[in-house]
């Protein structure tokens, strides 16, 4: 069954439509990610206090640049703390930040990107301690030139070092109890991080087809990535599922290095496996491929139609997806897909099994 109301996630709007919404609507918004290859100062244009961040990536499918909007309930409170802009209601907090690596000199054995990442995550954890939103639900990470090498290490691996150090410095778990996330490459721009955190502990979900990312072997870098395959969170009378960026990885190995169709199928098999896990541990099963909202990151724009055809075949005509050009964190991976889903416990409990 399709949701009429999606808790938290208010959906995608064109950037222009976002700016032109009435004031009362803007007051109910926690924040937004604006995806556009053009330079847009989303905050200035929307006269805004709304925490929103510009992610410098191109949309590939027809349509305007888009804002992914997150919505709160009841009275919202906003603030700024260091580089973070945030808004929260009583149960969830949405924050965004952009940090330029230029503010960090190569220092001792830490690269500028590693330091920027560590600083970003330390700022987040400090804010969460202060405002008492202890639980990490979902992080979005956008990194310029993610696959290029500097200081003898691929930049994605530098990012992983900084991220894990911040988790450790704040006494947070780096295995098991870690957020859903994605990490994508843009052509340029500062390190850009968005996050959703809450006051109710989520369930962390792993994929039986894959080794947990936090247990990837050393061949993928000196520190493992700190994310889980999905998180499932109770939010009022709903359950919300955040499926992390998912790629054509089985075990820990990248599959089908040059075959974008096979990579799309493998990726969807992984998302299906994560959904099966979610349904196993959810209060009620009910997540299925056709009820998720997808964001598809495509490395090579020329692959768009093949990916879209394959995805439609896996999901059906109800597919709701947005396609963005971005680099994926391993050179051989041609796409990464993330998804969000929800179901309303109240309406499910009224149905027959």
Residues labelled catalytic: 336
Nearer to ligand 3EB, 118 or 238 (CB): 118
Contact present, 220 and 154 (Cβ < 8 Å): no
The one segment of 41-49, 76-84, 239-247, 303-311 that binds ligand 3EB by CB under 6 A:
239-247
Q: Report the nearest approach of ligand 3EB to the CB of residue 59 (Å).
A: 20
Member of 60, 67, 178, 249 binding ligand 3EB (CB under 6 A): 249
Subset of 119-148 contacting ligand 3EB (CB under 6 A): 141
* d(C-alpha 126, C-alpha 103), whole Å: 20
Q: Report the nearest approach of ligand 3EB to the CB of residue 164 (Å).
A: 10
Distances from the Cα of 88 to the Cα of 29, 183, 233, angstroms: 9, 24, 16
CA dihedral 82, 295, 333, 163 (to 10 degrees): 20
Give the angle 196-201-204 at the CA atoms, nearest 5°. Answer: 85
b/e 153-180 (16+ beta carbons within 10 angstroms → b): bbbbbbbbbbbbbbbeeeebebeeebbb
Size of the site for ligand 3EB (CB under 6 A): 12
Q: Which of 160, 175, 172 is nearest to 126 (CA)?
A: 172
Using CB under 6 A as the binding rule, whether residue 244 contacts ligand 3EB is answered as yes
Q: Which of 80, 67, 66, 78 is nearest to 30 (CA)?
A: 78
Using CB under 6 A as the binding rule, whether residue 181 contacts ligand 3EB is answered as yes
Contact present, 254 and 248 (Cβ < 8 Å): yes
Q: Give one word for 172, left, alpha or beta, with left for phi > 0 and alpha for psi -120 to 50.
A: beta
Binding mask 315-334 for ligand 3EB (x = CB under 6 A): --------------x-----
Member of 15, 84, 144, 247 binding ligand 3EB (CB under 6 A): 247
Q: Report the nearest approach of ligand 3EB to the CB of residue 163 (Å).
A: 8
Nearer to ligand 3EB, 18 or 159 (CB): 159
Member of 225, 256, 277, 307 binding ligand 3EB (CB under 6 A): 225
Q: Which residue is it, tokens 């809450």? A: 198
Using CB under 6 A as the binding rule, whether residue 196 contacts ligand 3EB is answered as no
Binding mask 151-180 for ligand 3EB (x = CB under 6 A): ------------------------------
Nearer to ligand 3EB, 189 or 236 (CB): 189
DSSP strand pairing (29-35 vs 52-55): parallel
Nearer to ligand 3EB, 18 or 214 (CB): 214
Nearer to ligand 3EB, 241 or 329 (CB): 329
Q: Which residue is it, tokens 């971005």? A: 326
Nearer to ligand 3EB, 182 or 339 (CB): 182
Nearer to ligand 3EB, 161 or 213 (CB): 213
CA dihedral 244, 175, 160, 42 (to 10 degrees): 40
Using CB under 6 A as the binding rule, whether residue 182 contacts ligand 3EB is answered as yes
Using CB under 6 A as the binding rule, whether residue 194 contacts ligand 3EB is answered as no
* d(C-alpha 80, C-alpha 314), whole Å: 42
Q: What's the full length of the chain, in residues?
A: 353
Contact present, 118 and 162 (Cβ < 8 Å): yes
Using CB under 6 A as the binding rule, whether residue 335 contacts ligand 3EB is answered as no
Q: Report the nearest approach of ligand 3EB to the CB of residue 322 (Å).
A: 17
Member of 214, 227, 294, 323 binding ligand 3EB (CB under 6 A): 227
Contacting positions for ligand 3EB (CB under 6 A) = 141, 181-183, 213, 225, 227, 244-245, 247, 249, 329
């Amino acid at each position: 069954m399709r949701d009429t109301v999606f808790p938290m996630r208010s959906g995608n709007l064109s950037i222009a439509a976002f700016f032109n919404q009435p004031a009362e609507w803007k007051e109910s918004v926690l924040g937004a990610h604006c995806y556009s290859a053009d330079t847009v100062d989303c905050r200035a244009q929307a006269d805004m206090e709304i925490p929103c961040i510009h992610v410098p990536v191109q949309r590939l499918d027809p349509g305007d640049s888009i804002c992914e909007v997150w919505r709160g309930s009841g009275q919202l409170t906003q603030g700024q703390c260091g580089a973070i802009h945030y808004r929260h209601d009583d149960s969830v907090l949405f924050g965004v930040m952009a940090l330029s690596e230029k503010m960090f000199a190569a220092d001792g054995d830490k690269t500028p990107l590693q330091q920027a990442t560590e600083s970003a995550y330390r700022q987040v954890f400090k804010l969460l301690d202060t405002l008492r939103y202890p639980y990490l639900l979902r992080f979005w990470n956008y990194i310029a030139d993610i696959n290029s090498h500097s200081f003898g290490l691929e930049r994605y691996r530098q990012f992983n070092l900084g991220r894990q150090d911040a988790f450790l410095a704040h006494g947070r778990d780096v295995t098991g109890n870690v957020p859903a996330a994605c990490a994508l490459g843009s052509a340029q721009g500062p390190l850009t991080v968005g996050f959703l955190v809450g006051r109710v502990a989520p369930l962390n979900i792993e994929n039986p087809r894959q080794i947990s990312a936090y247990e990837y072997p050393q061949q993928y870098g000196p520190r493992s990535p700190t994310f889980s395959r999905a998180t499932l969170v109770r939010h009022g009378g709903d359950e919300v599922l955040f499926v992390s960026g998912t790629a054509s990885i089985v075990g820990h190995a990248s599959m089908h290095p040059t075959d974008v169709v096979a990579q799309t199928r493998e990726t969807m098999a992984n998302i299906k496996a994560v959904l099966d896990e979610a349904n196993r541990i959810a209060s009620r099963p009910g997540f299925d491929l056709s009820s998720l909202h997808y964001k598809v990151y495509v490395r090579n724009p020329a692959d768009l139609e093949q990916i879209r055809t394959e995805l439609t075949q896996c999901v059906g005509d109800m597919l709701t997806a947005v396609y963005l050009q971005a680099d994926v964190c391993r050179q051989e991976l041609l796409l990464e897909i993330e998804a969000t889903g929800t179901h309303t416990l109240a309406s499910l409990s009224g149905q027959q099994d």
